Amino acid sequence: MRLANVRLERYGPFEALDLPLDPTPGRVNLIVAPNGYGKSVIRRAIGEFLFGIEARTPMTFRFGTEKMRILADVVQDGSVRSLVRRKGNGNTLAVLNGADVSPEDAHRMLGGADETVFRELFGLDTALLRSGGKELIRSQGRLGQVLFAAGGGMGRVRDLLTELERKRDDLGRATARHRSRPIWNALSEWEQAASDLRRVALRPDAWGLLERQAADSAKHLTALLEEQTAAVAERDRLRTIGASRPWLDKLRAAERVRIEAGDAPELDDTFERRWRDALEAGATSSSLALAAEADLLAAGEARSTLSFDPAWLAVEAEIDALPALRGRAQGAETDLPAVERTLAEERARASALRRELGWDEAVALPPAPIVKDAQSRLQQHPKLAAEAATAELRVADAERALAATLAEMAALPPEADVATIPDIARLLHAGGDPAARLEAGRQAVRKAETALQAALAAIPDCPLPETALRTTAAPSDAAMDAAEAALGRAEAALAQAGRDLAKQTAAITAETAKLAALERTAKLPPPDALAAARSHRDAVWLAICGPAPDPLEAVALDRAMREADRIADALIEHGQEVAQAAALRGRLAVLEAERAAAEDSVGQATDGVTDARDALSRIAHAAGGNASDVPALRAFLRARAVAVARHTERDTATTELADVTAHLTGLSRQLAAAMAVELPDISGLGVLLAEADRRTDAARNLTARRKTLSDHAATQRTVLASAATAASKADRTLADWTAQWATAMAALSRPENEAQAATSEALALVEELRATELKCEDAHRRIADMRAAIALLTAKVAGLAALSADWAAMPPIEAADAFQRRLQAERQQAARCADADKRVASATEKLTTSRAASEAAGRTLAGLRAALRADTDEAAELQLQRARSVLAAGRDAAEARRELAVQGGGLSVEVLTERCAETTAEADAARVAAIDAGHAERAASIEAAREASIAAATAMEQAGTGHQAAEAAQRREAAQAVLSRTVEEALVLHATHALLQAALDRQATGADQPLLARIGAVFRTITGGVQAGVKIEDTKDGQTMVALEADGVTRKALDQLSEGTSDQLYLALRIAALEDYAAATTPLPFIADDVLQTFDDPRTTATLEALVALSDRVQVIALTHHAHLGGLVDRLPAGSVHVMRLGG
């Protein structure tokens, strides 16, 4: 595909930039523009036209995204399509003013290339050229990498190889075991974990040992515990005997005492305490009786000196009430004169108010609600009167406004009939100025006719006249594309089949050589040698077994058998080589079959090409042409399509002009009739239209005014009715007020005709009078209360005056105070008399109680003396002492028996006595000391044995529950997993490296000689013959490319080339790759951006020659800022470079 007429709209710095590219094969497009003009923008624009505008393209910096477009004519297969690429989502490529270009169509247009291919192969600038040259040097000429680098900046494949190797070795080199590398570190971990697992895992013998250790520990512990138990028992026995000795002695002593005091009275344990208590009770009760008698005497004497007057206590309630009465009376006497003065003043003020109102004392005050109501009505009256007056004024205003509107309506002129004029005028105005439309139609006809003639002249080699050409049938785009694609596929299939056949042949040759070498080195017999030898042997044997054996046949049989054995031995000895040879033969058979298939494919592909060309020829004849190849047919069809389109356009323009003329004439006739004027010439249609518009506007204005006034009058009528209703309502309200006011005046005892101001003042006086009379009533009530309090106190004091004649003449207040003081004194005296009576009663009771206790104690002592068989207290004491010694001996004997029962270990007194007699206390003590001395040693042994037993049991328990082995196993698994993973990753990296290297080597091997020759030729052209070309050499690293000096013999390794020369070789590789690409599929335009800037003039000219040659197959668009290039172009064949100068 090629581009023509590229246009950038609102893209980058350009609001509109036209690039009139020339798509002609064999012609380079050279765009010369100064630095900073936007050459890189143009390069980017072409890419975005082909593959879409990047979502975040920086080309919006000046005009934004709105209306950003890139337009171009796409020339492909002889046809031209004007396409436009807009910015947006989804499918953004469309035919100009037409439908979207489908993705399939776009893919076909681009020849299957994607943006990466465009960027890597079809784009080249100074930086890429330089880096490509460097890549060539770094590749050291390895052919695979060189070719790959040439194919589109894929020199990074070398980096990929290096990276794969480095990553593999980072995981661990196969030849050196370093723990720092993951593989070897994981292996060490695995070995350590496996060792740990073997070490910590519990084995049956270890478990048996644990069991034996536990059993031995338990047995030893049991023996020690038994020994300890026996020692403790002996010690306890000796301690029992030792502890029994003193108690046996005490028992014997007590028995002796009891025998010696045989006649002493037997007393119980409480007897002596009761004897002592009785003696003490007798003494105590006697002393208490004496003290009670003395107290009784003293209390009686004190009571006889006290007395009080019960008459005062009889009236104590009345006297206690006097203080309250006294307080009220004293307050009344103080306040009474002031209240009496207030009463007199308020009465005088009330009389004055009545006089002012004109009322005598007989006139009753009107109730307060009536007065309040009257005051409220007085406040309402001014507002009601004002509302009635305002309503009247509004009615008058509304009546005046309505009358004015009706008068204006009556003065308007009558309406004219212009109903049809506007519609006709609108039809005439539609489509623009009628005169301009007529002129445009005429111009269109002239232009279409001119274009038609030019298109007809441009049709190449057309045997048919214009009319006959229109009757031919052009193929559809799809049919043409299909036919061309079929031809392309057939040609590609033929090329591929050829390549396949060459590959198969080469593979057969290589495998055959391998087989021959193998048979030669291993001295292998032919494949069927053994079978033949055995067959020969069997044949000889059959001959021997026949009816007439020949003696010589025995010798032949021996030889035949030896030969068969020799071959069999050789086959056995070289079994591996035999197997390899068999595999090679099998492989050769497969390859032969594949070659046969490839040969068939070549034949079929050749037939396909012939068929495809026939189909194209048929298409050309049907379309009226004689073209014999695709470009010519495309060119004919494109020109034919243009001519047919122009013819149609000319016819369309003529028809449109006639239609417009007829349409305008008809409407003019209708308009003149509607306006009742004479029909003008078509040139006077403008004046007629202006008059029609004027009349239409006047009629519209009058109608609008009439409508406005009518609406206004209706509104005013509504306002007038509303004002009249409001005035009537205000009048009624005022009349109601007047009627109710008369009633109120009567209730207030006011004259019926009194002015409202006077009435208002009178109402204020009435309220003041009401307040004054209330104050008088209050003062009068308070005076009556004061006088009653004074009288009550006087009466009470008089009632109590009979108690003492001395106080009858006292003022009531002083008398009340004196009564209270006397009553208090009488109360105190009465309380003292009551206390004296209580002391006498208490002393009498104590005396009676103590005399009774003394008598009881005497009776108890007498009984106890009788029990002691004694007459006196002294004899009783002696008897009591003898009885006490017998009682103590009994207690000692009982205590000794109890202790012996406890300490004696269950032995009877008799047995204990016997055991004690067998030994001595000293001997027993020595024996116990000896046992105690050995106890600590035995206890320590037992504790040690117990710990050992626990430890053994714990070890068994832990052996059953521990995770050590599981932990080690898990570590081993983890290490194995890491090892597996890293080794697999290393293996994959190694295989990836090997696979890539093998593929590159195969590509180099498979590189065809024409391609290499073409690279050399372009290189020679670009260098102006300084370099004769390139040569391929076989080295230990595979095939390597070297450059040839001008003599065509001297070689130079690529890493020995100068910087400029390596750049030129890289450019040669790229040009050859582009041509190779173009041979396989539709190429894109090649854009070379300032790639010549480091070349001198001769090499620049030479390079332009190479680009001109390239442009036969691939459109070349070269961008440069060197204006002098335009001069160099003159050295090239005329018309081979299309120069476009931008930016002045």
Partner 1 sequence: MPDFRFLHAADLHLDSPLRGLEADVSAPVEMIRGATRVALGHMVDLAIEEKVAFVLIAGDIYDGDWLDFGTGLFFSNQMRRLTHAEIPVFAIRGNHDAANRMTRSLRMPHVTVFEHNHAHTHRLDSLGVAIHGQSFADQAVPDDLSKDYPRPIDGMFNIGLLHTSAEGYAAHARYAPCDIQGLKSRGYDYWALGHVHERQELSQDPWIVFPGNLQGRHIGETGPKGASLVTVAGNRVQSVEHRVLDVLRWTHIDVDLDGVPDEAEAMIRVQYALESALRDAEPRPLAARVTLSGITTAHAVLAADGLRDKILNETHGIPGEHRLWLEAVKLRTRPPVLSARPDNLGRLLTEIDAIAAAPPSDLLGDWLSVLHAKLSEALPKDHPLQTAVTGDLTAIVEQARRRLEAALADHT
User: Which residues between 1050 and 1079 bind partner 1 (CB under 8 A)?
Assistant: 1073, 1077
From residue 813 to residue 852, what is the string marking binding to partner 1 with x (rule CB under 8 A)?
----------------------------------------
Rounded least distance, CB 985 to partner 1, Å: 10
Element (H, E) at 18: strand 14-19
Rounded least distance, CB 1009 to partner 1, Å: 17
Q: How many residues does the chain have?
A: 1144
Residue 927 near partner 1 by CB under 8 A: no
Binder to partner 1 among 16, 127, 174, 911 (CB under 8 A)? 174
Rounded least distance, CB 1081 to partner 1, Å: 4
Q: What angle do CA 140, 144, 149 make, to 5 degrees?
A: 75
Rounded least distance, CB 972 to partner 1, Å: 8
Q: Hey, which residues between 211 and 240 contact partner 1 (CB under 8 A)? A: none
Binder to partner 1 among 976, 1093, 1094, 1136 (CB under 8 A)? 976
**CA separation for the pair 129, 1067 (Å, rounded):** 7
Residue 201 near partner 1 by CB under 8 A: yes
Stretch that binds partner 1, among 39-47, 97-105, 532-540, 978-986 (CB under 8 A): 978-986
Q: Please, which residue, 152 or 625, has the CB nearer to partner 1?
A: 152
Q: Hey, which residues between 945 and 964 contact partner 1 (CB under 8 A)? A: 959-963
Rounded least distance, CB 501 to partner 1, Å: 16
Buried b / exposed e over 500-517, threshold 16 CB at 10 Å, is bbebbeebbeebeeebee
Rounded least distance, CB 91 to partner 1, Å: 16
Phi-psi region of 111 (alpha: psi -120 to 50; beta: other; left: phi over 0): left
Residue 510 near partner 1 by CB under 8 A: no
Q: Are 53 and 85 in contact (CB under 8 A)?
A: yes
Binder to partner 1 among 89, 175, 828, 1009 (CB under 8 A)? 175
Residue 967 near partner 1 by CB under 8 A: yes
Name, in order, each residue with C-beta under 8 angstroms of 649's C-beta and a sequence gap of 6 or more.
Answer: 448, 451, 452
Binder to partner 1 among 150, 462, 789, 1072 (CB under 8 A)? 150
Q: Are 892 and 253 in contact (CB under 8 A)?
A: yes
Find tokens 């080469």 and name the residue. 506
Q: Is residue 1035 classed as helix, strand or coil in its secondary structure?
A: strand
Terminal alpha carbon distance of the chain? 30
Query: Which candidate, 1103, 1062, 1106, 1110, places its Cα nearest to that of 1085?
Result: 1110
Binder to partner 1 among 137, 568, 955, 965 (CB under 8 A)? 965
Binder to partner 1 among 14, 37, 51, 190 (CB under 8 A)? 190
Binder to partner 1 among 437, 780, 981, 1031 (CB under 8 A)? 981
Binder to partner 1 among 112, 246, 1098, 1135 (CB under 8 A)? 112
Residue 154 near partner 1 by CB under 8 A: yes
Residue 591 near partner 1 by CB under 8 A: no
Rounded least distance, CB 108 to partner 1, Å: 13
Backbone angles phi, psi at 180, to 5 degrees: -70, -15
Residue 162 near partner 1 by CB under 8 A: no
Rounded least distance, CB 902 to partner 1, Å: 46
HSE (side-chain half, CA atoms, 13 Å) at 8: 24
Rounded least distance, CB 495 to partner 1, Å: 12
Q: Please, which residue, 37 or 190, has the CB nearer to partner 1?
A: 190
Residue 111 near partner 1 by CB under 8 A: yes
Binder to partner 1 among 234, 984, 1008, 1097 (CB under 8 A)? 984
Query: Which candidate, 23, 79, 149, 1126, places its Cα nearest to that of 642?
Result: 79
Q: Hey, which residues between 988 and 1017 contact partner 1 (CB under 8 A)? A: 988-992, 994-996, 998-1000, 1002-1003, 1006
Q: Hey, which residues between 128 and 147 contact partner 1 (CB under 8 A)? A: 147
Q: Is residue 262 classed as helix, strand or coil in its secondary structure?
A: coil
Residue 590 near partner 1 by CB under 8 A: no
Query: Which candidate, 80, 114, 119, 85, places its Cα nearest to that of 101?
Result: 85
- Spatial strand order of the sheet with 1051-1053 comes to 1027-1035, 1038-1045, 1051-1053
CA 357 remoteness from chain centre: 92
The maximal CA–CA distance of the chain, rounded, in angstroms, is 208
Binder to partner 1 among 160, 230, 253, 950 (CB under 8 A)? 160
Q: Hey, which residues between 1081 and 1100 contact partner 1 (CB under 8 A)? A: 1081
> How many residues lie near partner 1 (CB under 8 A)?
75
Q: Are 601 and 500 in contact (CB under 8 A)?
A: yes
Binder to partner 1 among 436, 457, 622, 977 (CB under 8 A)? 977
Q: Please, which residue, 174 or 416, has the CB nearer to partner 1?
A: 174
How many helices (H) and strands (E) would you count in the chain? Answer: 31, 13
What HEC string does 72-138 produce? EEEEECCEEEEEEEECCCCCCEEECCCCECCHHHHHHHCCCCCHHHHHHHCEEEHHHHHHHHHHHHH
Q: Please, which residue, 31 or 186, has the CB nearer to partner 1?
A: 186
**CA separation for the pair 148, 1003 (Å, rounded):** 9
Binder to partner 1 among 2, 44, 85, 972 (CB under 8 A)? 972
Rounded least distance, CB 240 to partner 1, Å: 46
**CA separation for the pair 31, 46 (Å, rounded):** 13
Q: Which residue(s) pair with 1033 in the sheet?
A: 1040
Residue 905 near partner 1 by CB under 8 A: no
Q: Are 39 and 1121 in contact (CB under 8 A)?
A: yes
Rounded least distance, CB 1067 to partner 1, Å: 16
Q: Please, which residue, 221 or 1071, has the CB nearer to partner 1?
A: 1071
Say which DSSP state 1144 is in: -
Say which DSSP state 743 is in: H
Residue 197 near partner 1 by CB under 8 A: yes
Stretch that binds partner 1, among 112-120, 271-279, 361-369, 560-568 (CB under 8 A): 112-120
Rounded least distance, CB 1082 to partner 1, Å: 9
Residue 183 near partner 1 by CB under 8 A: yes
